Amino acid sequence: MPGAPIVDLRSDTVTRPTPGMREAIARAEVGDDVFGDDPTVQALERRVAALAGKPSALFVPSGTMGNQLAVNVLARPGEEVLLEAESHIFLYEQGGVAANSGAMVKMVRGERGVVSPATLIEALEEDPEDEHVARPALLCFENTHNRYGGAIVPLERLIAAVSTARPRGLAAHLDGARLWNASVATGIPIREWAAPFDTVMMCFSKGLGAPIGSILVGAEPVVRRARRVRKRWGGGMRQVGILAAACLYALDHHVERLAEDHRRARALAAGLRRLPGLRVVEPDTNIVLVDLEDPALERGAVVAALEARGTRLIGFGVQRVRAITHLDVDDAGIETAIDAFRAVVAELAGAGARHS
């Protein structure tokens, strides 16, 4: 309907700063962070380091940079980085492990983001002292897991995997872009999720609704090296306290409300599950995956038809679409999205039936 508000479920990265966040940005005390004297950045780094139970933290422009910095400081060129086969670092960071750090990826298959100790032992069966093979250096996990629909990788499974890798000489990194969601959904503090890992990256620009920014936490020497590489990669920022202020505001106001996004994701899934031709994965957090099982529901046509009805989402596989709930989508927006899906399914599946 012309003039109707758009329900944008493409990602939780599309959120816009709230009035309170904009006010915090306007009032931010700033300095030159490359010189190390932006007080608001320093406050953010201290606060998140404490939340994660790590000695140090580094504010970075994006989650991808945070992940790639961790790889760079924990693995040397020619060494091996073990990645779960559906992980963001492997699929969506432009081969950065090789391009940025000269390291080699070894894919390991998991189950909803979980890699079992037995699978890791098999992947690490080569003798690391054999001069013919790459030395395994780093194990990476992701939580929540994007490709598995915001699945929460259980803490005990992460601990078991990391405990298997440690005696074999591997460091461990957690891509915690949506770790805030896992923490709110389970009640397990960030500190406990972070404890098994050398480094953890977390985003402010997804569910927490900040316009820009992620953070890398870890031991002080590791973070100091990451800070140096960040400068080399062009990530040194000047009066970036205006962005750090938005992130601090998000920590104060937008963490606990993630439970609302999870509730709305479940409501969206329940509404879509009632429609014919769709199979909907029950969400753990704020990501809803919808499989288009009716052949008449071709992915591109579905996405375009929903867009025409004011609902945006993205293709996420040959016959799969993804919707992510966030602070800019309220209960009415969820109902609007369900109604749009109902109309599109009726239109496309009905047309398919008439032509069969």
Name the pLDDT band for 128 (thresholds 50, 70, 90): confident
> Is it the case that residue 288 has pLDDT exceeding 80?
yes
What is the per-residue pLDDT for 213?
97
CATH number reported for the structural domain that contains residue 80 in this entry? 3.40.640.10
Please report whether residue 151 resides in a domain.
Answer: yes
User: Domain span at residue 195?
Assistant: 19-253
Please report whether residue 12 resides in a domain.
Answer: no
Please report whether residue 1 resides in a domain.
Answer: no
**CA geometry: angle 10, 11, 12, nearest 5 deg:** 145
**CA geometry: angle 276, 280, 286, nearest 5 deg:** 140
If you search the block for the tokens 């004011």, which residue do you land on? 310
Residues 131 and 239 in one domain: yes
The mean pLDDT of 234-260, rounded to a whole number, is 97
Pick the last residue of a domain from 253, 272, 290.
253
Residues 234 and 266 in one domain: no
The mean pLDDT of 142-162, rounded to a whole number, is 97
Residues 280 and 241 in one domain: no
Element (H, E) at 136: strand 136-142
Residues 248 and 264 in one domain: no
Please report whether residue 317 resides in a domain.
Answer: yes
Phi–psi pair at 322, nearest 5 degrees: -125, 140
The mean pLDDT of 222-236, rounded to a whole number, is 96
Alpha carbon of residue 276 to chain centroid: 30
Please report whether residue 3 resides in a domain.
Answer: no
If you search the block for the tokens 């915090």, which residue do you land on? 24
Please report whether residue 282 resides in a domain.
Answer: yes
Find residue 138's DSSP bridge partners. 81, 171
Please report whether residue 246 resides in a domain.
Answer: yes
Pick the last residue of a domain from 223, 253, 283.
253
Return the SS3 of 7. Answer: strand
For 55-90, write each residue's pLDDT tens digit: 999 999 999 999 999 999 999 999 999 999 999 999
What is the per-residue pLDDT for 352?
52
Residues 282 and 228 in one domain: no
Name the pLDDT band for 5 (thresholds 50, 70, 90): confident
In our burial notation (b when 16+ CB lie closer than 10 A, e otherwise), range 186-205 reads: eeeebeebbbbbbbbbbbbb
CATH number reported for the structural domain that contains residue 265 in this entry? 3.90.1150.10
The mean pLDDT of 8-35, rounded to a whole number, is 97
The mean pLDDT of 31-47, rounded to a whole number, is 96
Dig out the tokens for 268 from the structure. 């969206």
Residues 167 and 306 in one domain: no
**pTM of the full predicted structure?**
0.94
The mean pLDDT of 215-234, rounded to a whole number, is 97
Pick the last residue of a domain from 229, 253, 277.
253
Residues 102 and 218 in one domain: yes
What is the per-residue pLDDT for 83?
96
Total domains in the fold of the chain = 2
Please report whether residue 211 resides in a domain.
Answer: yes
